[in-house]
Amino acid sequence: MSWWEDAVGYEVYLRSFADGDDDGIGDFAGLIGKLDYLDELGIDIVWITPFYPSPQADFGYDVADYRGVDAMYGTMDDLDRFVSAAHERDLRVVIDVVPNHSSSEHPFFRSALEGGPGSPHWDFYVWRDPAPDGGPPNNWLSFFGGPAWTYVPKWDRYYMHLFLPEQPDFNWQSRAVADYFVETLRFWVAKGVDGFRIDVAHALVEDSRFRDNPIGESEAGTVAVGGEFDVFEHVHDYDQPGVTDIYRRWKEELGPHVLLLGEVYLTEPEPVVRYIAEGHLDEAFYFGLNRISWDAVEFAKRVRAACDAMSRGWSWVQGSHDESRAVTRFGGGQHGWERAMALWVAMMGLPGTPFLYQGDELGLDDGHVAIEDIADPVGLEDPEAGRDPCRTPMPWTTGVHNGFSSSQPWLRSARRRPEETVEVQMGDPESRLSRMKELIRVRRATSELRSGELRWLESPPGTLAFSRGDVAHIANLTDDAATVGFEEGWDMVHVVGGRVTRVGGQFTLSPRCGAILKRSTAN
């Protein structure tokens, strides 16, 4: 079994986690100071978002130096200290790698822009001639809105960018680009990094003929960024042949113990399977629940379909720094949190690695950011779609700026209520934080029993019930009571967010409740 298979991951959005030097921006010093908190929470993997030198047009997902540390986050020594301090606590470190695009300030792109087709870096990026009418070469759109192409009059060419114009796409047909990234990954592995979260892992390769994307059906109930982007079927800019070969080479070069975790942002499970099944990536996030509104029956159906499509290799997430927080998307407040917790009970038992997003353990709703304080480039275009509300600073205390920093945080937001903070929740055995800790503890305590194959148990729509070896997990996502029948010999170990009543082998869970059972013969 690989080390990540029985681990629990945790995403740190570095800018907003903890500020060690009081400049209002989260950093390595702050993170190091919170490692004991993460250790006590019981997680095993810390994934940190990009810390590389960057103009921050997309808050670090526009990298200007793939082998450096931006001074706003600290120094390379601080990063080294962080890796050692994490390892001392048996926490693994996963860093973000951003191979789809660089910053337009990266020396490679600057060289291409200045030297034109004669530059040694011209071919590092995707350049095309204008269409006959002088317009963009095709109808591809940027995920953040507007065309995926920017015209450079000096060279009479367009360059492609699936995101901001400040994020030019690399040309992965270039061997030099491929070699550069392998060297970069080796550099970080030599520093002790345990794995990589691969940004936009599905989109590194483009259609060789750059054909137009057809117009498709807009996905109903979508809540995330995308807008007009979703009007198109992304058959020529996403998930192209050859993309998984990139990861096959990475796996071969880095070896089996370095986790390759892909942000394969395809909402259907089947195409994602290919990224894992052929030994390319180790895991991919499951995003099937992130862009639809809460619907217990649909959620349960999707999770099950994902497991049917692939028996291992999912990283289970409810949210990230890219979409509204799970509790908010699931209805908000107490209800939203209860739903999230019931779903976590399933995610903590399924094969794969559950990944919390910072603040999930506190059961946080979205933060509030006033319209004049919007910082996210997506939000500046469309406040409804903006990603600031999930990126507000982590509420550590009831003090100034919720203990994140003594200076004004980079993202201004409304103060969190005392009961939302770590300080208050820490001392309360009934708090959301305590419930999450307990769930992780139970998962760990039963992990050896959970070694068996996944078997689905008969259960009502809107519920997930399964056993793995001598452990069973039930998640009642619905707003009604739900009953699941067991053979003899099963006992309750843990209940989350409600009540379970038992009559013989029938276990009835109250609405939005999760439960973990153990076969008593395994005692």
Residue 404 near residue 16 (C-beta atoms within 8 A): yes
Which CB, 194 or 263, lies closer to ligand NOJ?
263
Q: How far is the CB of 235 from ligand NOJ (least distance, A)?
A: 20
Q: How far is the CB of 253 from ligand NOJ (least distance, A)?
A: 23
Which CB, 164 or 464, lies closer to ligand NOJ?
164
Which CB, 199 or 470, lies closer to ligand NOJ?
199
The residue with its CB nearest to ligand NOJ is 61
Which of 237, 263, 283, 366 does the annotation list as catalytic?
263
Establish whether 199 is a catalytic residue: yes
CA 59, CA 204: separation in Å to the nearest integer?
A: 20
Establish whether 263 is a catalytic residue: yes
Which CB, 78 or 263, lies closer to ligand NOJ?
263
**∠ CA 274-279-281, rounded to 5°:** 75
Q: How far is the CB of 199 from ligand NOJ (least distance, A)?
A: 5
Which CB, 166 or 282, lies closer to ligand NOJ?
166
CA distance readout (Å), 375 to 166, 228, 229, 285, 435: 16, 21, 21, 26, 33
Q: Dump strand ranges (E) for 289-410.
A: 314-317, 353-357
Q: How far is the CB of 198 from ligand NOJ (least distance, A)?
A: 10
Which of 199, 282, 361, 420 does the annotation list as catalytic?
199
Q: How far is the CB of 376 from ligand NOJ (least distance, A)?
A: 9
Q: Which residue has the tokens 């590194």?
A: 204
**∠ CA 340-344-350, rounded to 5°:** 145
CA distance readout (Å), 281 to 162, 265, 284, 313: 22, 14, 7, 8
Distance of CA 21 to the CA centre of its chain: 27
Binding residues (CB under 6 A) for ligand NOJ: these are: 58, 61, 98, 163, 199-200, 263, 321-322
Which CB, 95 or 495, lies closer to ligand NOJ?
95
Q: Beta strand pairing status for 283-286 and 195-198?
A: unpaired
Which candidate, 218, 239, 242, 243, places its Cα nearest to that of 229? Answer: 218
Q: How far is the CB of 50 from ligand NOJ (least distance, A)?
A: 8
Q: What is the CA radius of gyration of the chain?
A: 23
Catalytic residues: 199, 263
